[in-house]
Chains A and B, each alone.
Chain A
């Protein structure tokens, strides 16, 4: 058992002594300020995205058990305002653990409410995972006189947040390859074939009325499967960049490029993920300092 624990522990990389916990604290403030911006814009963007019909109590996700009684509109407002308020407090006091825990709960509640009264709501899921890990960081870990133990814990957990963020992409890439293998084995077209890409393009056209600006030309040229394959491969491998501190900025740039590419091909854009990649990886405290 002890050997197993040591082996698991060895998976998490060491980083140079020059890494400063103060830098991690600063990035933490960026994170909550970014969430404040995101949550404020979501109030406007999502204001018409919920169903106005009454929600059955047995269909509400458990963190949103109160939604059937409050109704869709009030639930949306309550969850949105709670998220904005908690993000504001955490942006002011990012080192206070209670503030970070508050954000985690508010974000969880917000997504539960939005899924209950609307559709699948993926844009905050990465933020929930990261907010949960940040809530585990010690209280006032970068304050003067903070113990080395709390500094080390904070840095370890910051790295964990980066790794979990990148893991979501690797899992998405893995799912694409596994799904494609399953489809190929069952005689169905996969997204790595011209026919499968065309089906997916049809699906997007029917749903959104268009592809991205480069989607149609690449589809007509038969190049869409190659881009899909390259994108899935990049997703699959991006987690490994988390283990190399000097590649953290490259990982951030790769994630941003992936999302820009997804927009150009498919016409969908995950701005919340781009923001998160910028904050967590382009500003990574583990990356070599450029001064």
Chain B
């Protein structure tokens, strides 16, 4: 291979790597991991964990006034050892997502599921997305 051609090919490869990197950086931000990628070469963040969306804050409080636990973000709640609390968090997050989506049938279904399957005592819920309270309910 002639020297200029060799240099040209090497430079093209180096430029390609940099362009790929730059195009990937341009995609950083909300929406990553979804269908809005520049299709399909630049699906660069395939191994990036989805950005922590929300986060949905779900406060679970006892009606009697005593809190079951201090109000928690879902992350803290799920970090505990109790499988039951994980279940609460999973279902409450479904509830919060449904509220955020304005999906009333799903909200009711998720709420019934929490009341029926997880909670054995009366509870009230405050559902937050970020710092905005989306809803408050009493279970009974």
A residues lining the B interface (CB < 8 Å): 5-6, 8-12, 61-63, 108, 111-112, 115, 120, 122, 125-126, 128-129, 132, 148-149, 152-153, 156-157, 159-160, 163-164, 167-169, 171-172, 174-176, 178-179, 183, 188-191, 194-203, 205-206, 219-220, 235, 270
Q: Which residue of B33, B43, B48, B76 is within 8 Å of A198 (Cβ)?
A: B76
A132 and B41 contacting across the interface, CB-CB below 8 Å? yes
Complex formed: what's the CA distance from A194 to B79 in Å?
A: 8
Say whether B99 faces chain A, with CB atoms less than 8 Å apart: no
Q: Which residue of B17, B34, B48 is within 8 Å of A179 (Cβ)?
A: B48
B89 and A202 contacting across the interface, CB-CB below 8 Å? yes
A201 and B35 contacting across the interface, CB-CB below 8 Å? no
Query: Interface residues of A: mostly helix, strand, loop or mixed?
Result: helix
Interface pick from B4-12, B100-108, B119-127: B4-12
Complex formed: what's the CA distance from A115 to B38 in Å?
A: 12
Chain B interface size band reads: 35 or more
Total A-B residue pairs with C-beta atoms closer than 8 Å?
Answer: 157
A206 and B94 contacting across the interface, CB-CB below 8 Å? yes
A168 and B46 contacting across the interface, CB-CB below 8 Å? yes
Minimal beta-carbon separation of B2 from chain A (angstroms): 7
B10 and A200 contacting across the interface, CB-CB below 8 Å? no
For A161, give the chain B residue with the smallest CB separation: B13
B93 and A160 contacting across the interface, CB-CB below 8 Å? no
Q: Which residue of A112, A174, A178, A194 is within 8 Å of B39 (Cβ)?
A: A112
Complex formed: what's the CA distance from A200 to B73 in Å?
A: 12
A191 and B52 contacting across the interface, CB-CB below 8 Å? yes
